[in-house]
Amino acid sequence: MAKETWISDALSGALTEQEVTLKGWVKRTRSSGKICFVTIRDSTGSIQCVAKAGNLEDEQLDALKSAIIESSIILSGTVKEDQRSGGYELAVSGVEVIGPVNPDSPFPITESAMEAADGGETEFLLDNRHLYLRTSRMTTMLKIRSSVFGAIHSYFRNLDFTEYQAPCFVAGAVEGGSTLFEVPYFGRKAYLTQSWQLYAEAAMPALERLYTIAPSFRAEKSRTRRHLTEFWHAEMEIAWGGNEDVMAHGEALVRHICKTLLEERSEELESLGRDLDLIRRYADNPFPRIRYDEAIERLQALGVDIEWGQDLDYSKEKILTQDFEVPHFLTHYPRIAKPFYHRPDPEDSKYVLCHDLLAPEGYGEIIGGGERTWSEEEILERIDEEGTPREPYEFYIDVRRYGGVPHGGFGLGVDRVVSWLAGAEHIREVIPFPRDSRRVTP
């Protein structure tokens, strides 16, 4: 029995002239008379397989000839060095078609459909997302995405953070009411969580260093290239730490993600046309910090219509980050621009001790974080000045009555980070089944 192997191993050169069995899906096929060329792929690569009459039974050759694109197939044969291309191919001696595709309804994601989409995603490709996942572009995105998830876990675990889970059904908002998803909950109202943060703060006195990667939900009505209604949120919280400590983690994490991608996914990034020197630059250089006030001055100097006190939306971030060589932290937002849990700066309480990390190349915010309001007195003052009802936050206030300590944390949008590092045009390109205000299918 020939050795079952991944296509990447057959292409490695180590199996030349050996008998192997490959399992995969038909990517391309061409036959003329008594010879059939089939390229098959698995998750590790693709290889040309050549079947010639005489080397296998006629029935098997016919079966191979009739196997059209995306049929699943098992081929056995000998790995041969292909003199012309310098690569490797399989000289086929055995064929088994496992899941044939009906020729009356061929695989709909054709090369012309991909070309029409030009690297982006048409409604047609989104409607057929379950099939589009198999294309090399999407597979590449999913591999890069997996490495980013792995890098986040390894960053925190190497530092002895505890992974901690919060509920998805909640009673209160973290990021403001306008993006809350309401769900009927046995005669009451509940909401889908916008962030893990408030529940992480409750566990902070127990675990001190905690993190998660989980979905967050936001009813983003406007469709932008960087908002989903369900996105993957990597969040962390530390006890005995302030805004600077939290920023140091954010910076180290993003640089660790860049380094991991360079180690694990250089080939994939290059296949997407990504310049690895840019990723190296992000991995190797410190991220500067600028205060909100300075950012407003810069924007005003560029003729942008913005006033002190306003939050920066995407259009402003885009202008600001266009000339950035590396990600920049924006710190010290006005108190009036940020929710109640942000701690006012003891040096000037007009500001809060917070930060956003803005990615370069016009991508904008990838992290939002800061120091938390941690005394009972201060949190009540902040909640009341904001006009937020206290009731849904009773547990949150209560935590501060029993041994409150300075603490802080951040949330990083994983899909946004993947989108930036992969050089995607739109955040939808990097998540298997994107959700936005118009789409919950497939």
- Select from 311, 366, 375 the least CA-distant residue to 343: 375
Is residue 210 helix, strand or coil?
strand
Sole residue written with tokens 């949190």: 379
What does the block give as tokens for 438? 């118009």
Residues 104-163 that bind ligand ATP (CB under 6 A): none
Looking at the DSSP bridge assignments, the partners of residue 367 are 357, 412
* DSSP tally for the chain: helices H, then strands E: 15, 19
> Is residue 369 a contact partner of residue 342, using CB atoms and an 8 Å limit?
no
Is 227 or 407 the residue whose CB approaches ligand ATP more closely? 227
Query: Judged by CB under 6 A, how many residues of this single chain contact ligand ATP?
Result: 16
Residue-by-residue DSSP string for 136-164: HHHHHHHHHHHHHHHHHHHHHHHTTPEE-
Q: Closer to ligand ATP by CB, 51 or 254: give it.
A: 254
Question: Taking the complex as a whole, how short is the minimal distance between the CB of residue 436 and ligand ATP, in angstroms?
Answer: 9
Residue 376 in contact with ligand ATP, rule: CB under 6 A: no
Establish if 218 lies at the interface with ligand ATP (CB under 6 A): yes
Place of tokens 């060329």: 37
Q: What is the H or E stretch that residue 415 is in? A: helix 414-422
CB of 414 to ligand ATP, least distance (A): 8
In the complex, least distance from residue 382 CB atom to ligand ATP, rounded to whole angstroms: 17
| Minimal distance, residue 396 CB to ligand ATP, in Å | 16
For the CB of residue 235, give the shortest distance to ligand ATP in the complex, in Å.
8
Q: Which helix (H) or strand (E) holds 58?
A: helix 58-66
- From edge to edge, which strands make up the β-sheet containing 182-185? 169-170, 188-192, 182-185
Q: Which of residues 338-367 bind ligand ATP (CB under 6 A)?
A: 365-367
237 binding ligand ATP? (CB under 6 A)? no
- Closer residue to ligand ATP (CB): 79 or 366: 366
Pick 41 or 316: Cβ nearer ligand ATP = 316
Binding mask 401-420 for ligand ATP (x = CB under 6 A): ----------xxx-xx----
The binder of ligand ATP chosen from 96, 175, 378, 386 (CB under 6 A): 175
Question: Interface with ligand ATP by CB under 6 A: which residues?
Answer: 175, 218, 220, 227-228, 231, 233, 365-368, 411-413, 415-416
